[in-house]
Homo-oligomer: A and B are copies of this chain.
């Protein structure tokens, strides 16, 4: 069998490249995937109670790019979602990300944007150029809010002090002085109407017979026996180079599911505020209490018309071989090590490294898709 391109990994990065190569450039690819399904971590499925879940952690699609939406429109319809989250600590739910509502909850009385701005100005610790995740939050809101909402969460999630983590980690959470409760700020916020897995099936089907997928397969088992001109690698970059510069650090996750039927949910109505839900919003962060960082009830976002609901408690976990390497660790020491691998990658001919794991960076889905769209063009230019 002769392929133009061997693609390692059938997540967004790999499948988008395969689709573009097939339909736009008439190039043949083989996508090799170690799991038993397409979709990488964005894969969704229904649990045994018939509730749609995101088994590799919640995936909240959002983008500011019309190009990305136009591209995905070929493979899915959308269900617009206003992603909302809260934070639970000190025995109560707080509006989150921090905004004027949170501030009023803290004061226990009505307030105003002006009062909140004055409070922040009086409480923030100014850093001209915040160097890490502690400084970036202290610079915005000061110690009290930092300790209530950020410090414990970050320690649980990363098992590192916020001081040791890049400013971008906590810096990606907005702080607002208006009443905007939305979690995310992108102009397009929606989920695939029939789920991510259907989107992936449609995307793959669009390749026609120009792309095949080999599941349940470690690429190292097969790559020597496959005839291809170009390699697209979307797995962990350190594994590709046999960890020759030492393993890159990752954080893993452990998920605990719990399903509640309609009767059990009735007793939660005073808390969730809605029939058929366990908690008030799609995601609730637990920055301080408990070993889990958050509880996700994705039904808030999927809008599934079921009377039962499934919640997922998410426990950060030390990564070790055999576990899923969910998060690259955004810190100076790991970035330095990554650069050594990047140097090797840059000198590997006829090979592209794309996606979250191959570039060791916490990208959102739309960023990965954009990267894959661009890379497909470059690859096609090289191969023509």
Query: A residues within 8 Å of B by Cβ?
Result: 1, 36-38, 45-50, 52, 77, 193-195, 198, 201, 204-205, 207, 209, 211-218, 221-222, 225-226, 261-262, 302, 304-308
Contacts and interface: CB of A to CB of B under 8 A. Distances in A.
A199 to B, nearest CB: 11
Tell me how many chains of this kind the complex includes: 2
Given A46-B52, A302-B50, A221 B209 contact: yes
Given A193-B48, A305-B49, A215 B213 contact: yes
19 contacts: A36-B38, A36-B201, A36-B213, A37-B201, A46-B46, A46-B195, A48-B193, A49-B305, A50-B302, A204-B216, A209-B216, A209-B217, A209-B218, A209-B221, A211-B216, A212-B216, A213-B215, A304-B306, A305-B308
A212 B222 CA distance: 11
A266 to B, nearest CB: 13
User: What 4 pairs between A and B have smallest CB-CB spacing?
Assistant: A48-B194, A50-B304, A305-B308, A1-B225
A36 B217 CA distance: 16
Contacts of A215: 204, 212-215
Given A214-B215, A305-B306, 20 more contacts: A1-B226, A36-B38, A36-B201, A36-B204, A45-B198, A46-B50, A46-B194, A46-B195, A48-B194, A50-B52, A50-B305, A204-B215, A204-B216, A205-B216, A209-B216, A209-B221, A212-B216, A214-B214, A261-B305, A307-B307
A133 B13 CA distance: 55
Contacts of A209: 216-218, 221
A215 B201 CA distance: 11
Contacts of A226: 1
Contacts of A45: 198
B214 A306 contact: no
A221 B261 CA distance: 49
Contacts of A37: 201
A77 B48 CA distance: 9
Contacts of A47: 194
Contacts of A261: 305
Nearest to A208: B216
A1 to B, nearest CB: 4
Nearest to A261: B305
A298 to B, nearest CB: 12
Contact of A217 (B193, B194, B212, B222): B212
Nearest to A203: B36
B216 A213 contact: yes
A306 B50 contact: yes
A317 to B, nearest CB: 21
A119 B251 CA distance: 74
A2 to B, nearest CB: 8
A305 B262 contact: yes
Instruction: Pick from A46, A195, A222 the residue with the most CB of B within 10 Å.
Output: A46
Nearest to A35: B205
Given A45-B198, A46-B52, A201-B36, A214 B213 contact: yes
